Structure 1
Amino acid sequence: MRKKTFFKLVLILFLLIIIFVLIYYKAKISRIITPFILAVVLTYILNPLVCKLHRKNIPISASILLVYTFFILFIASIIIFLIPELINNTKELIESVPDITARYQKMFAGFLENIQKSKWSPDIKAAVLGEIEGAATAIQKYALEILGKTLNVIMQTVSFLADFILALVIAFYLMKDKEQFIEAALSIMPLKWRNGIISTGREVSTILSNFVQGQLLTALIIGILESIGLYIVGVKYALILGVIGGISNIIPYFGPFIAAIPSAAIALLDSPIKVVWTILVFIVVQQIDNAFISTKIIEGRLGLHPVVTIFAVLIGGEFFGIIGMMLAVPVFAVMRIIFRRAIDAIV
């Protein structure tokens, strides 16, 4: 019992050291590992198709190149038919930020005028006016931040394209030489650990495969449903808001609010009743997701308690932003498996 407790403490200390290094050098590490993370995601998406072709006696390199060809054609078709509309939506939204800000300021000014004319006590008036003025300042600041980050987003897009091209190269070798990588990793491990490592690797791979494939398909479906729903109720920029909703849906618990809040804010500029319809769209889509999509598409659960999931998302978001929130849950799930298997193997 003491031995088991000792090894648990050693593993916890080791994990804390790793977490400290990741946090302290997060900027440098994120630049290095981004193409590798993308490569792993691409591998889990494309490898099943590569394996099917390879089983038909097509050489592995040719199988990968064939899958890459269809994948690039698919991406190109999206760029040709969808991206122009998405760019127009984004451009219109950015250009309309000053107008949206001005309209909200006018709305707040009307509230202020009505409050000044009301028969409320001076203390209540002062408290309400303070809250409204604070909200107006926050909205203006948020709008200016959006405009200020526009150029940064463009630069990040260029950087992402470079990382994506590098990820395609890395993913090619991960799929082509995966057996060699596995053999090389096992060769440096003690013989008594190898079976356990293979078993752990398979469990981790299954979880990551289910997560990546399931979440991407779920995000696609959610994005389509929300775009259609917002378009039907007449919300402007329905496509870009739906895309944001689909991507943010990957983040557990908090994701749906990321798209719902700006959608409701834009709908409010037209009419209060449109806000109700907009919120109803997100509620209906989330109910469909919970009842049918996630339960059917994502096979198996990551095995994390809801409290741990929320903690993981908050930690990931605090140190690594939106990407950290998206990756926090599978990372915690993998760490949990490795931690449990390591204790079982050592003790």
Structure 2
Amino acid sequence: MNDTLRFPFYAKLAFTLVSLMAIFTILYFGQSIVIPILLSLLFAILLRPVAHFLKSKLRFPHVIAVIFSVFLFILVVIGILTFISWQISDIANDWDTIKNNLSIHFSNIQEMVRDNFNLSKGEQKKLIDDATKNSIETGKNIIGSTLMSFTGTLLNLTLIPIYTFLFLLYRTHFIKFLSKLFKPEHHKKLKDILFQIKVSIQSYIIGLIIQMLTVTALTTIGFMIIGMKYAIVLGIITGLLNLIPYIGILFAGLLSIVATLTGSPDLSLILGVIIVIVIVQLIDNNLLVTLVVSSKVKINAFASIVGIIIGGAISGVSGMFLAIPIIAILKVIFDRIEPLEPWGYLMGDDLPKTYTWHNIKLPLFDSESSSETSQIITDVKAPIFTETTTETDEK
């Protein structure tokens, strides 16, 4: 007796939409719980080879290997943060110089506005005061929300190492739990999914680390060439903030521009900072992201951008950082479950054919010819479309 229920398309669509709404609602309202767990899972996957090396090669007991792995991770993070805070304190000591140089630039801008728009400095000051009159209350709200966010961040910094330790410690326990959810005939597929998820996430995080180190090195060298003060710490900050999609490099650029005011009020130094950041970003976006990061997860640009936007809307910077790994995990699962395979293909980066244009090989992503569309549909063996395509070709 077949107990399978078959629903019409509109019912399946309604169930899918309700499920998606429920998932996004849970993620939005439960982000303070879910986000630290997901971050800890990524770090646990990254640290798994370290714990395995300590356990298998150095004969550490399992618990000691896990503790030592997490402790090394914490030491690296604390070392980076300590170096950055130490350097930023030196920048803060130059605050008087920054204010003087900033007032010089502000005075130059006022003179430029006066010469081009016939607005005196008094009129400009009045316009600025009117524009910022209602900003005091807004500033208080921003400070309050920032303090709350800082408190939540401190809590997460405490919970994430604990969660990471527990994920590594109970790794076998969690795998056995997953195996008990599925019938024995599906265990082979489950093992394949878990293995591919581990490989994809480890490769992606290692790719991010390579990207971060390369951006840090290029930015530091560029800042040294133009004679920037604090070039090393600004390069490290740029590399770290570059891990945050879109907005990270903007904050790094603004901080670097402010740091130029610790030396000279010369505008050429600010222009040099902008040129260095633009060049590094061109190298990063067109070379590093393609060869080092995107090649690890095989996700197309459309799925990446949409995922980052959705992640940012749900949980801000943390959601944007987690978007790509989550999409990579979903793609691995979708590719190995037959009803969901089309969605895995939609997320993937299908390597296109190339064509030659002025001796330059370019990717051929699409063609407008109906014959090629017919051939693509025939190749994927979709009978529902084949008959319609044939009739179109005959006409």
Give the structure-2-normalised TM-score.
Answer: 0.65
Report the Cα distance in structure 2 between the residues aligned to 1:144 and 1:101, rounded to whole angstroms: 25
- The equivalent residue for 1:17 is 21
- The equivalent residue for 1:36 is 37
- The equivalent residue for 2:299 is 304
Tell me whether 1:166 sits opposite 2:167 in the alignment: no
Q: CA deviation at 1:53?
A: 1.6
With 54-63 and 250-259 compared, the bigger mean Cα shift is at 250-259
**2:336 is paired with a residue of what secondary structure?**
helix
Q: CA deviation at 1:253?
A: 5.8
Q: CA deviation at 1:51?
A: 0.6
Report the Cα distance in structure 2 between the residues aligned to 1:343 and 1:273, rounded to whole angstroms: 59
When residues 62 and 87 of structure 1 are mapped into structure 2, their CA distance, relative to the original with a 3 A threshold, is same
Q: Do 2:193 and 2:333's aligned partners in 1 also have CA atoms closer than 8 Å?
A: yes
Report the Cα distance in structure 2 between the residues aligned to 1:271 and 1:146, rounded to whole angstroms: 31
Report the Cα distance in structure 2 between the residues aligned to 1:273 and 1:321, rounded to whole angstroms: 35
- The equivalent residue for 2:364 is none
Report the Cα distance in structure 2 between the residues aligned to 1:259 and 1:211, rounded to whole angstroms: 23
Report the Cα distance in structure 1 between the residues aligned to 2:302 and 2:194, rounded to whole angstroms: 26
The code of the aligned residue for 1:302 comes to V
1:214 pairs, out of 207, 213, 219, with: 207
2:171 pairs, out of 158, 174, 178, with: 178
- The equivalent residue for 2:385 is none
- The equivalent residue for 2:269 is 274
Give the structure-1-normalised TM-score.
Answer: 0.73
**1:334 is paired with a residue of what secondary structure?**
helix
Q: CA deviation at 1:144?
A: 11
Q: Do 2:244 and 2:321's aligned partners in 1 also have CA atoms closer than 8 Å?
A: yes
Q: Do 1:98 and 1:143's aligned partners in 2 also have CA atoms closer than 8 Å?
A: no
Report the Cα distance in structure 2 between the residues aligned to 1:19 and 1:307, rounded to whole angstroms: 21
When residues 217 and 103 of structure 1 are mapped into structure 2, their CA distance, relative to the original with a 3 A threshold, is same
- The equivalent residue for 1:250 is 243
The structure richer in helix per residue is 1
Report the Cα distance in structure 2 between the residues aligned to 1:150 and 1:237, rounded to whole angstroms: 28
- The equivalent residue for 1:64 is 66
With 189-198 and 325-334 compared, the bigger mean Cα shift is at 189-198
Q: CA deviation at 1:37?
A: 2.7
2:183 pairs, out of 190, 198, 208, with: 190
Q: CA deviation at 1:257?
A: 4.1
Cα displacement string for residues 136-185 of structure 1 (whole angstroms, at most 9, x for unaligned residues): 99899999989985786566455434323322222222112211111112
- The equivalent residue for 2:111 is 110
**1:301 is paired with a residue of what secondary structure?**
helix
Q: Do 2:87 and 2:230's aligned partners in 1 also have CA atoms closer than 8 Å?
A: no
- CA RMSD for the aligned pairs? 4.5
Higher RCO structure (Cα 8 Å, ≥6 apart): 1
Spell out the pairing of 1:88-237 with structure 2 (5 A cutoff): 88-89=90-91, 91=92, 102=103, 105-116=106-117, 156-157=149-150, 159-235=152-228
- Max Rg structure: 2
The code of the aligned residue for 1:310 comes to I
Report the Cα distance in structure 1 between the residues aligned to 2:341 and 2:221, rounded to whole angstroms: 53
Report the Cα distance in structure 2 between the residues aligned to 1:308 and 1:152, rounded to whole angstroms: 31
With 246-255 and 193-202 compared, the bigger mean Cα shift is at 246-255
**1:304 is paired with a residue of what secondary structure?**
coil
Q: Do 1:224 and 1:242's aligned partners in 2 also have CA atoms closer than 8 Å?
A: yes
- The equivalent residue for 2:312 is 317
Spell out the pairing of 1:81-92 with structure 2 (5 A cutoff): 81-89=83-91, 91=92
Tell me whether 1:283 sits opposite 2:278 in the alignment: yes
In structure 2, runs of 5+ residues without a counterpart are 1-5, 120-125, 343-395
Q: CA deviation at 1:33?
A: 2.2
Q: Do 2:335 and 2:341's aligned partners in 1 also have CA atoms closer than 8 Å?
A: no
